[in-house]
């Protein structure tokens, strides 16, 4: 395979790391960690992450690695909330059972969070992130939005809340990949639990159907080409 600009964009995978350990690096891990980095999380911060799909889970992990001492996550899928608690979250709220804004404000004594990360891409979760920010807090957006995205005057504190809004999408490049690979090689985190299902390439339509309907607790699906006898694809 010919790779344009390979010297800029490709990084060697350490021999001791498996394919599934590094599978998330070029996209999911980079985007999620980027949300934590863009939020300029500091030691001692309280961070809320709305949505715990693979990107939101990586954002929560990135917040933990950045020094956040309290991480609060929100989702509506039981398996994702369980994974969130397993990997990073101190508190995890099911929005079907709790008003997440009220729950987060109560958990923080009314202060709000230092950083709120939006990892779904809906106006509702964007607004919820605004409503849980403390004065001077940062909203780090990872969502890809469609339609109109508005800033409600009350949620934005009429512009007087000194809030910062930043957005991030998949930082790339050779040095970026090297850093992400080092995080995995060090054992500071393990993203293999995010791969919940595996299919061969000839079953890719079945894999997409499963993922598209979010059945069976799916997070991410790994696709491998079928290997014929003799080791040739």
Residue 227 has pLDDT above 70, yes or no: no
Q: CB of 28 within 8 A of CB of 54? A: yes
Q: What is the per-residue DSSP string for 122-178?
A: -HHHHHHHHHTEEEEEEEEE-----S-----TTTTGGGTS--EEEE-----SHHHHH
CATH architecture, domain defined by 20-167? 3-Layer(aba) Sandwich (3.40)
| Contacts with 221 (C-beta within 8 Å, 6 or more apart), sequence order | 195, 196, 197, 198, 199, 207, 210, 211
Quick: pLDDT tens for 107-134: 999 999 999 999 999 999 999 999 999 9
Q: CB of 14 within 8 A of CB of 177? A: no
What residues form DSSP beta bridges with 139? Answer: 116, 165
Q: What is this structure's pTM?
A: 0.91
Q: What is the mean pLDDT of residues 52-56?
A: 96
Domain boundaries, given as residue ranges, for the chain = 20-167, 191-233
């Amino acid at each position: 395979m010919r790779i344009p600009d390979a010297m800029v964009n490709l990084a060697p995978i350490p021999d001791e790391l498996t394919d599934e350990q590094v599978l998330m690096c070029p996209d999911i891990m980079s985007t999620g960690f980027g949300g934590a980095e863009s939020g300029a999380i500091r030691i001692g911060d309280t961070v809320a992450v709305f949505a715990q799909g693979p990107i939101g889970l990586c954002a929560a992990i990135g917040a933990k690695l950045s020094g956040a001492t309290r991480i609060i996550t929100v989702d509506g899928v039981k398996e994702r909330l369980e994974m969130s608690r397993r990997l990073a979250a101190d508190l995890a709220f099911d929005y079907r059972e709790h008003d997440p804004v009220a729950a987060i404000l109560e958990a923080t004594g009314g202060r709000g969070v230092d950083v709120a990360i939006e990892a779904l891409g809906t106006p509702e979760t964007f607004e919820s992130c605004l409503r849980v920010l403390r004065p001077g807090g940062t909203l780090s957006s990872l969502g890809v939005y469609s339609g109109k995205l508005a800033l409600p005057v009350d949620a934005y504190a009429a512009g007087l809340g000194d809030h910062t809004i930043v957005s991030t999408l998949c930082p790339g490049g050779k040095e970026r990949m090297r850093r992400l690979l080092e995080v995995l090689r060090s054992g500071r985190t393990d993203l293999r639990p995010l791969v919940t299902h595996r299919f061969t390439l000839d079953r890719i339509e079945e894999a997409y159907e499963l993922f598209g309907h979010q059945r069976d607790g799916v997070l991410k699906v790994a696709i491998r080409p079928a290997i014929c006898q003799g080791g040739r694809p």
